[in-house]
Amino acid sequence: MKNAFYLLIGLFLFLLAIDLIGNSFKLLNKEVVESILQLTSNPFIGLFIGLLITALIQSSSTSTSMVVAIVASGSIGLSEAIPMIMGANVGTTLTSTLVSLSFITKKEEFRKALSAGVVHDFFNILVVAILFPLEYYYGLLTNLSSSISTLIVGNNYGSIQSEYGYSVFTRPIIDWITGLFPFPIILSILAFAILALSIKVISKILYKTITGGSKEVLQRYFFGGPYRSFLWGAAITAGIQSSSVTTSVIVPFVATRKIKLKQAFTFIMGANVGTTLTALIAATFKSEAAISIALVHLLFNLFGVLIFLPFPFIRKIPVNLARNFGRRANDARILGFVYIIFTFFVIPFILISYTNARQDRVELTYEINKKSNGETNFKKIVVKEFDANHLNHWFVYEGLKTKEEATDVPTEILEAYYKKNLMILDNMVFKLGSINECWSGSDELGNYNICLKDMEVVYKRGSLTLDSVYAFEKRYSVDSLGWEKIYVDPVRQIIVKSLLYDDAGDLTSSEVLVELSKL
């Protein structure tokens, strides 16, 4: 009973420390997370943003929930969110690396602790290096997660929102501490001290409770083989629903030679799989996007396990990398701090800035005329392109009274790409095939057909001239909804003109491109 009480105290302190780290980050700039997320316009930035945000707020569950909410709102798509989930898997490993720094005063223990801390980093980084190109070029995780989610639950998803977490217990204390010390740096130092203390308490109690203080029992029953330690890692993490706790507790075990680094690594792989249970349970009561993202999280970690666990020679790669890093950092202990600062903060910031600067950006200005009331307004779209043959993004600003007006926050973010004679804008497909070739689709208004009516049309508007423009007609199955004529430039991946007609064939509104400028 006494041990159980101390264990609960240790877990509470751990969660308090994680929450305090996140709160100290928010004090720096309460809007910085939203601002960073709005920068996401290509998979590389998404990867680094996922890593950076998770490292800053010290909770992959929180950052993943943020991504789910943004996807559910329609601001970004699943393919855009997946790199962020990959980055979150790397960012969450910072916790165990931070814990290893608490052994810095003991040379031999520090070497082993740091190796145990960074082996999680190296494993997830290697998995990202393998899976990210497969997702970028072939949409591996996007296609798999979408297919599985449809197979499991069909096309009808619940809309019930289920949110729960430990913050309801820690929040009053966090608010009280923040009121006493409203300084981010002081709060971060305090959080790190509580984190280190809580992990030492948890690891000591668990060791005594589970093994009776016997190293032999620990080795025989929990780490007797790679598959046994993997299963225990998955089971324990699924039970307590926090990989941060289980992977951090392993660090003192390795530091004090209770288990070997290679045994800790297979346990960590199990913890990676076990932590996906929380998202899967929560996603059951959410949207299609939530289910797909939860499956992405599971598939990412399962692929990592399938690549490393069955093959001893491959399993040695992250272990040897971590062991060598521990030796080098033991000779120059400042290396541990430098590694954390650069890997989780400096490098992501630099890469986000670099990849964002490499993007081509075009601003489109549309004039919108409504015949019913004679009203005229404008719409601006900023098209960001990182790879001409990959995904582009439209940042839409609607309801502008003048051509110069625009808000800081877009009203909508759409995905567009052109590949194999297909231009896809959000969920609408334009095929560059034969004249009068038609295909079907659906949106919130109902089912429709899109037919190609003309090609190689030249569009002129003042000084603006575009060639290779294709004309399409979009007609709904219900005549009363009218029909639309859409002119598309697939090379630039833009809509040039949209004309809306009623069922009698009279023009009701028009949206035409009046300016195109490179930013």
At residue 266 the predicted structure's pLDDT band, cuts being 50, 70 and 90, is very high
For the chain, domain boundaries? 2-356, 360-518
CATH of 360-518, one of 2.60.60, 3.40.50, 1.10.1760, 2.40.360: 2.40.360
Q: What's the predicted TM-score (pTM) here? A: 0.66
Judged against a pLDDT cut of 50, whether residue 159 lies above it is answered with: no
- Cα separation, 25 vs 82, whole angstroms: 24
Separation between Cα atoms, residue 493 and residue 491, nearest integer Å: 5
The confidence band for 166, taking pLDDT boundaries of 50, 70 and 90, is very low
Highest mean pLDDT among 35-39, 202-206, 267-271, 406-410: 267-271
- Alpha-carbon span 423 to 420, nearest angstrom: 8
Asked if 281 contacts 238 with a C-beta cutoff of 8 angstroms, the reply is: no
Helix (H) or strand (E) holding 111: helix 107-138
pLDDT band at 156 (very low <50, low <70, confident <90, very high): very low
Q: Measured between alpha carbons, how far is 91 from 199 in angstroms, rounded to an integer?
A: 19
Task: Measure the CA–CA gap between 370 and 194, rounded to whole angstroms.
Answer: 62
Give residues with Cβ within 8 angstroms of 120, minimum separation 6.
93, 96, 97, 247, 268
Tell me the two tokens of residue 237: 């993490």
275 against 154, higher pLDDT? 275
pLDDT in tens, 420-464: 778 888 778 888 888 999 988 877 788 899 999 988 788 888 888
Segment 336-387, tens digit of pLDDT:
888 888 888 888 888 777 766 666 778 899 999 987 777 888 898 888 776 5
Q: What pLDDT sits at residue 287?
A: 57
Pinpoint the alpha helices (H) of 275-369.
276-283, 288-308, 312-331, 334-341, 347-357
The mean per-residue pLDDT over the stretch 287-297 comes to: 72
**Helix, strand, coil: what percent of the chain each, to 5?**
60, 20, 20
Check residue 160 and give its pLDDT. 33
Q: What is the pLDDT of residues 393-406, one digit of tens each?
A: 788 888 788 777 76
Query: At 384, which helix (H) or strand (E)?
Result: strand 375-385
pLDDT at 125: 93
How confident is the model over 193-207, as a mean pLDDT? Answer: 67
**Cα–Cα dist 476/133, whole Å:** 39
Q: Is the pLDDT of residue 330 over 50?
A: yes
What is the average pLDDT across 16-36?
A: 58
Residue 261: is its pLDDT beyond 70? yes
Q: How far is CA 89 from CA 81, 112, 132, 275, 356, in A?
A: 13, 23, 12, 11, 22
Supply the pLDDT for residue 122.
Answer: 93
Q: Token digits for 291? A: 């289910």
Position of tokens 């209770």? 258
